[in-house]
Amino acid sequence: MADENLARQNDEIEALASIYGTDFHTESAEHRTYSVEINEARLSSLLQVTMPSDYPAEAPPTYSLSAPWLKGLRRQELCGHLENIYLENTGESIVYLWVERIRQFMVEFGEEEEVQESQAQEVIAIQDTPKELAQEMDCPEIFSGEIISDRKSVFQPHLAAVHSQAQVGQVLKKLYENKKVANATHNMYAYRFLPDGSTHITQDCEDDGEDHAGGRMLHLLQGRS
């Protein structure tokens, strides 16, 4: 029986080498240990098997599976598939069946990952879209004054009625979409508003390198409240 098992093992090894080419490796001819690299669905696995003297007639090969992407319950699931293959093919050569079942599992796993990524992106899009639309709707109307030239400097005032910090951000974002504003040497601003449901005024200013310019603008707003 040992000679028959050895002959069948040699036939199987020759077949595996022919099928998998450079992905098939002899780890130890003495211990009859071999490995097959499996690359599928952007995943990689390495199945290593050792063929005992009573394989395939009476016992399965021992194996180890290196697959960094495979953990926990999913790993147990795949190992269960490999065990079932042996039980359903007792006495037969099974390494090829194992390799192809692992490959199939990798394809299924990759497809599940793609579906989950797609669903996650859809959820993000669904969550973000109403928020973005709301921000666009909340952007107050901006009124721009006449351009004023004073010596070598050019000024243009912009005014908007704001009622929240979000609206302040929307106004600034809208203004900076204008290339002339975005490229200006100094973009000083000030804001002041009473948030809904609050008795405390929110205010702030920005000098943008022009000493006290934002502060003076804020002082003007304070004098008009």
The CATH number of the domain holding residue 42 is 3.10.110.10
Assign 223 a pLDDT band (cuts: 50, 70, 90). confident
Provide the percentage of residues in the chain whose pLDDT is more than 70.
88
> Which residue bears the tokens 């100094």?
186
The answer as to whether 135 is a domain residue is no
Q: Which residue has the higher pLDDT, 177 or 86?
A: 86
20 token code pair: 């998998």
Q: Pick from 73-77, 164-168, 215-219 the range whose average pLDDT is largest.
A: 73-77
Domain count, the chain: 2
pLDDT at 122 over 60: no
> Is the domain of 83 the same as that of 179?
no
47 class by beta-carbon count within 10 Å (0-12 exposed, 13-18 middle, 19+ buried): buried
> Is the domain of 106 the same as that of 147?
no
> Is the domain of 105 the same as that of 16?
yes
Assign 159 a pLDDT band (cuts: 50, 70, 90). confident
The answer as to whether 49 is a domain residue is yes
> Is the domain of 93 the same as that of 11?
yes
Assign 19 a pLDDT band (cuts: 50, 70, 90). very high
Q: Which residues pair with 4 in a beta bridge?
A: none
> Is the domain of 197 the same as that of 103?
no
pLDDT of amino acid 127: 57
139 token code pair: 């952007």
199 token code pair: 């008795």
pLDDT at 36 over 80: yes
Q: Output DSSP code: residue 41.
A: T
Assign 171 a pLDDT band (cuts: 50, 70, 90). confident
Q: Give the model confidence (pLDDT) of 174-214 as tens digits.
A: 888 888 777 777 888 888 888 887 777 888 887 777 777 77
Domain that holds residue 91: 2-111
Q: Whose CA is closest to 62, among 24, 35, 26?
A: 35
Query: Whole-model pTM?
Result: 0.53
> Is the domain of 97 the same as that of 152?
no
pLDDT of amino acid 24: 97
Q: What share of the chain is helix, strand, coil (3-state, %, to 5)?
A: 50, 20, 30
Q: Which of 87, 111, 135 is the last residue of a domain?
A: 111
Assign 119 a pLDDT band (cuts: 50, 70, 90). low
Which residues, 6 or more positions from 7, have their beta carbon under 8 angstroms from its beta carbon?
A: none
Mean pLDDT lowest among 83-92, 105-114, 153-162: 153-162
C-alpha 155/C-alpha 136 separation (Å) is 27
